[in-house]
Each structure stands twice: as C-alpha cells, then as structure tokens.
Structure 1
Amino acid sequence: MTDAPIDIRPLTAAEIDQAVAWAAREGWNPGHADAACFAAQDPEGFWGGFVDGAMVACISVVNYGSDFAFLGFYIVDAAVRGQGYGYALWQRALAHAGGRTVGLDGVVDQQENYRRSGFAFAWRNIRFSGAVTAQPAAHDGLRVSPLAALTAEVAALDARVFPAPRPAFWSQWLGAPGHLSYAVHDGATLSGFATLRPCHDGVKIAPLVATSRAAAETLLAVLLPQIPASAQVTLDVPEPHGAAVALAQDLGLQPVFETARMYRGAAPRVAPELIFAVTSFELG
C-alpha cells in the first residue's frame, strides 16, 4: 500500500534527463544521447511517478509501430521502495504499450518478478567492459564508409535484429553529438553497421551488427583507434552468439554484468547470430 497518492504521467525532457542520471547512478552507464534518441521514437515513452511533486520512480515503455514495445529505465527511489509506487507506475506504463509484444533486458534479481508479470526468457546478454588490449585488423575485400543517414539496406539489416521499424530513432541516432557510425560492405552487399557513442563512463560500441566476425572486426578496426587507448569500452553481447562472445574476449574485455532478454507476448523473430552488441539494455 502507498503512504501518499502517486501522480503518474509522461516525463518532460528535463525529467527524462533525471531518469538517465538515476540510471547512471545505478551503474547502467547509459549513453549521453540515448534518451533523446528514443524519445524521438516515442515522445510519450518515458513515465514517472510523483509524490508531493517529487519523482519517486521512473520507467520507459517505448512503442515501435503497432506491434512492439520495449521496457527499461525501471527505477524506484530507494527511500520509498516497498510502498507500492513502483508497481503502480509499472502497470500504468505497460498500459501505454497496449496489446503490443513488450521486450526488456532484466537484471538478475528482478527476473523472477518479470516472469510473474508474464515475461518469458529468450536469451542471456553479457556486458563486456574494459580497456581494449588487442586491436582487430580490417579484412581484405571489405569496405567501410561513414553512415550518415538511414538507407533501405541498413533498414533491411536492422529488421533482422530488431522486431520493428525505428526510422525516427535512426534519424536522431545517426546525428547525435559524439556518435560515430559506419557501415561495412562486401562489394555491393551491406555486411554490417556499428555506432561508437560516449557514455557516462567510457564508450559503448552499439549497435554492432554484422553478418560475419570478419565484418565486425573490420568495423572495430575503424572505430577503436578513434578513442583513447585506456578508455573503457563496453559491448553488450547476446550469449547465444558464440562468435560475438569470443570477439569481446579476444579484445581483452571482461564480463561485468548480465541481463535476460525477456518478452511478454509472442516472442519476435530476430537473429541473435547477427548481433555482436545490442543497442541498449534500457531501450532496445
């Protein structure tokens, strides 16, 4: 039971910034521009619970088209946990998704709660972080070029790893401050794409999508020299993709965190074997 009434509503831009700061405080290490990019996809996708005018809980349920949504940023202020505020916010924000399938990346200690709310396990993700100790080399025959705008071929490859079109996200993502995005081609065929983005601690390379380890290494060979040698680099890797796990380990990165990809509703068909790093644990 709550001790005082809770007001639940979509967050303003400034309040979204507060939610991102909370996520950084939790150790989730969001990118500096993450929230703005996903808010562009769904301006009412971030929700907050307020008591006496102060935010006590936040969550995001970002809708992508008519069939899919992704849940993240679920945080309740430690001072008011156990009073029902988080669950009230959870229910209201999930209603925003309507009948869509909802995905999330759940931390270990919350996975059983998510199961009780109707979410089923799909696979495990592992966060690898650290200073890169082995620089990969570009592979002959593969050509890397800057990725400045969403093209039909990028959208088609993205559709194999993400369950719904996200053009508004891509438009914001590719132009976000500090983001460096590239595509790799084998002849005329797109073989992958990647973005390096600044985070609260170091950088993340995500998404990193490639049809082969050679294509992923060729993208990394362009991206990694553009960051300081001692910077923390993070890759969030689907555990079932053995080549991606091996690549992260070969770079010298260490496993530091894990989540479970879970879905409520019909699990979408995606290809984890193309994902060398997911875009974001918090936002899909």
Structure 2
Amino acid sequence: MNSSEKKTIFINKLNDFKVKKATLQDWECVVQWGNREGWNIGYHDADCMYSVDNDGLFIGWIGNQAVAAVSLINHSEQYAIWGNYLVNSEFRGKGYGKAVCKVARSHAGNRDIGSNAMPHMVSNYEKSGLKPTYNIIHYTGELKKIASENIKEISIIKPHHIDTIIKYDGLFFPTLRQKFLNSWLFSSGHTSYLKMVNGDILGYGVIRPLPDGFRIGPLVARTPTDAEELFNALTSNLPENTKVSIFLPEYVHGSFFSFLRKRELFEQFHVVYMHKGNFKLNIPNDIYGIANLDLG
C-alpha cells in the first residue's frame, strides 16, 4: 500500500467520493475557499495547524476535485477543536460536508472538543453533542493611532520565555498547548509581546499579517489596562488607518470594548463557542482575544 492509499480513510464507490488526510499543499485550496467567504486567513495559519497536528486536516474529493474540508486539531490528549468547515460552492447541499465531518470525528478519540459556530449553525452542531457556551465577537476597523504610554514593561517574546508562557496560557485555555505556542509565537511575520513585572507575567499578545490588514490574537492579560497596553504595543508600528481585527469573548470587561471603539474598531459579527466534554469549562476574564477560530 502506498502513502496516498494510507491517507484515504473513506470511500463511497457510488460517486467516487473519498476523504483523505490533507497535506499543506492540498490545504491551499481550502484557504482560498475561506478567503472567498471573507475569513481573511493569516498567511501561516495552516502551517501552525499542521505543526500542532499533521493528521488533523481532512479534505473530501471527487476524483481530483476537492469538494469539502474540515480540520480537527488535537492540541493534547485532553482537548481538540473543530475548524475550517467549508464546502466548495459548486458542491453545497449534497451532504459532502457532513460526510467529511463524520470521517474526521474519530480523530479526536475521547477528547473534549470545542468549536466556533456561526449562529445559524448552532442547532446542527448541537446534534453532535456540542453545547453553546458564549459568543465570540469579531471587531475590526481602520486603526486610529494614539500615543503609546506605559509600555516600558512590555518586551518582545524570546525563546527563553516559552516555558513560562505555556504555563500561564494553560491557566486560561482548556489544555496546555506547547506545540501551538512554539509555532504561533515565532512564525514568520508574527510579532509577539510579553508584559512581565518582577518575573510575574501580566499578559502576552500576538499580531500577524493577513491578506487584508492585521489580526491580534491571542491577547491574554490580568486587567483591562494590561490588555490595552499590550494592544498599543502590538499596533505601535502600524501606520494610521491600517485595518486591524480581533476575535474577543463577549464577557470581556466593558472598558476594553470602549477602548476598541476609541481606536475605531467596531463589531462586525459574532460566532458561538460550543463545547463537548466531561470537565467543567473554565471561563476566565483574562482572555481579551483568541488566536483564531480554528485553533482557539
């Protein structure tokens, strides 16, 4: 059996529909689908997903034509997250998306599973046992510059910080995510900042380039003031009116929403974070922005 045959994990002989684990080269078409839908996917998002779990990308094919895709990324033995649920517009309404998900589902095993669903898809996701937990709001706009103050305790993240950040991040994310942070913090084009005082982490954040502007995430901080200072540091080198976006939980302190509006970022839409699992999900106030919808 050759390597391509090993990657074929579902076959419907009636229409030659096959689901395969995707390579990064295969996945380029999925990124194109997502960007046509307006998701504005970061240049290295797929690389980071693949570095976390190179068996977590799934594409359904008819012959040589990719028709549907989904990612199910195992962050650890405890937690996985769905993402990239996309169907080529020419093949929608024929059940191919559901078929890809059905095949991919076994990849997570007995892990808890998270997903970010568009509001109109919540009822469909509930059929799979996922329960709505909270909304994640997308803020975007053309950045208004302000004088950056009180950022002297903020510095670029270096490799020697990684173990400390992994432990800090694990206080807020459902699991420790070593592979993700090792990739995300240092990917090409990503700028990562840390606020630390007397050896104590008060927050960290990442900004990355997109086809249309820049996106901040994750942004994790002890207080709204810490979050604002990190935001200022992350955007300090951007020109006025640069398009900036962030996905942030609805429970973030109201003052941070006010801060974003003062910077000319406004709500565009929201998704619903859904969860399936046995442990009680921690909902901390320290998360001011998630990394992206497909990795959490």
Measured at CA, do residues 268 and 250 of structure 1 come closer, stay the same or move farther in structure 2, by a change above 3 Å?
farther
- Aligned counterparts of 1:5 and 1:136: Cα–Cα separation in 2: 59
Distance 1:245 1:230 in 2: 19
Residue from 142, 148, 165 that aligns with 2:176: 165
2:39 to 24, 28, 46: 28
Q: SS of the residue aligned with 1:20? A: helix
8 Å CA contact retained: 2:136, 2:272: yes
In the TM superposition, residue 118 of structure 1 has moved relative to its aligned partner by: 1.1
Q: Do the aligned partners of residues 186 and 214 (structure 1) sit closer, same or farther apart at CA in structure 2, a change above 3 Å counting?
A: farther
SS in 2 for 1:135: coil
Q: Give the CA deviation at 1:247.
A: 3.0
Whether 2:214 is the aligned partner of 1:203: answer: yes
Residue 218 of structure 1 aligns to a residue whose secondary structure is helix
Q: Which has the higher contact order (CA 8 A, sep 6+)?
A: 1
Deviations 1:117-157, CA, capped at 9 Å, x for gaps: 211011001000001225364337x6011102253321122
* 3-state SS of paired residue (2:229): helix
Quote the residue 2:153 is aligned against.
143
Greater Cα offset, 95-104 or 162-171: 162-171
1:18 CA displacement: 1.8
Do 2:58 and 2:71's aligned partners in 1 also have CA atoms closer than 8 Å? Answer: yes
Q: Which residue of the other structure, out of 224, 230, 251, is the alignment partner of 2:263?
A: 251
Question: Separation in 2 of the partners of 1:251 and 1:278?
Answer: 19
CA distance in 1, matches of 2:224, 2:14: 54
1:174 is displaced (CA, Å) by 2.2
TM-score, scaled to structure 1: 0.94
2:167/2:176 contact within 8 Å kept: no
Paired with 2:239 and 2:19, the residues of 1 have a C-alpha distance of 42
Residue aligning to 2:5: none
Q: Does structure 2 retain, via aligned residues, the 8 Å contact 1:145–1:182?
A: yes
Task: Give the Cα separation in 2 of the matches to 1:170 and 1:234.
Answer: 20
Query: In the alignment, which of 87, 97, 122 is matched to residue 98 of structure 2?
Result: 87
Partner SS, residue 236 of structure 2: helix
Contact 1:238 1:272 in 2 (8 A): no
| Number of residue pairs the alignment of both structures matches | 283
Matched, 1:264 2:264: no
Structure 1: stretches of 5+ with no match in the other structure:
none
Relative to the length of structure 2, the TM-score reads 0.90
